[in-house]
Amino acid sequence: MATQMVMPRIDDTVCDPACGSGGFLVMVLKEMAPKFEEIARTKARVSADALLREYADKHIRGIDFNPDLARVAKMNMVLNDDGHTGIFHRDSLIAFEEWDGPLLEKIRPNSMDIVLTNPPFGKKCVIDDKKILRNFDLGHKWERQEDGRWAMTDQVEHARTPDILFIEDVSTCCARTVGWR
């Protein structure tokens, strides 16, 4: 349903920064398959499968903190017409400056058109690494000013649940905000 709501186009780059087993990304491929079948029908010697694999390689990105889930996502993508080269085992909440080669080659700041994600929720999973929290406005304490406005302080929170940080993280990944098309 989420994939159908954002209606990805064939030139959209889609990222799930907490991809788990890759469910959203697989659904993007399934949503794209008929579009590439239509293109293949109108052009000689063009394979819909090849077009879909090319799209997946260029436009599907997934990151997961859990190495086992990242492997599952890669396999899920292979079983569903590929795209596994865009899946990475990393912590997507660390600063872009700390990302390494292969990941930075595929994902750069403001390079995603659509972010589909279901980040980890709940009190059991918390981010308490000050180095990570410091990179997020929502990782800082905020104080109400005399004029009623809120202002961020230099003081970093003790911990935040990842869902709060992912709200801000998603906004830095996207080149544009995806609304209803």
Q: Do the Cβ atoms of 152 and 140 come closer than 8 Å? A: yes
State yes or no: pLDDT of 130 exceeds 80. Answer: yes
Instruction: Tell me the C-alpha distance between 12 and 112, whole Å.
Output: 8
- Comparing 33-47, 70-84, 163-177, which segment has the lowest mean pLDDT? 163-177
Residues 6+ apart with CB under 8 A from 146: none
Measured between its terminal Cα atoms, the distance across the chain in Å is 15
Instruction: Tell me the C-alpha distance between 150 and 42, whole Å.
Output: 56
Per-residue model confidence (pLDDT) at position 25? 92
Per-residue model confidence (pLDDT) at position 162? 82
Instruction: Tell me the C-alpha distance between 57 and 169, whole Å.
Output: 23
Banded model confidence at residue 176, pLDDT cuts 50, 70, 90: very low
Q: Do the Cβ atoms of 37 and 30 come closer than 8 Å? A: no
Q: What SS3 state is found at 116?
A: coil
pLDDT (tens digit per residue) in 62-74: 999 889 999 999 9
Q: Which amino acid is at 172?
A: T
Distances (CA, A) of 14 to 56, 59, 128: 9, 6, 28
| pTM of the predicted model over 0.85 | no
* Alpha helices (H) in the chain, listed in sequence order: 2-6, 23-42, 48-59, 67-79, 101-106, 130-133, 162-173
State yes or no: pLDDT of 45 exceeds 90. Answer: no
Per-residue model confidence (pLDDT) at position 143? 94
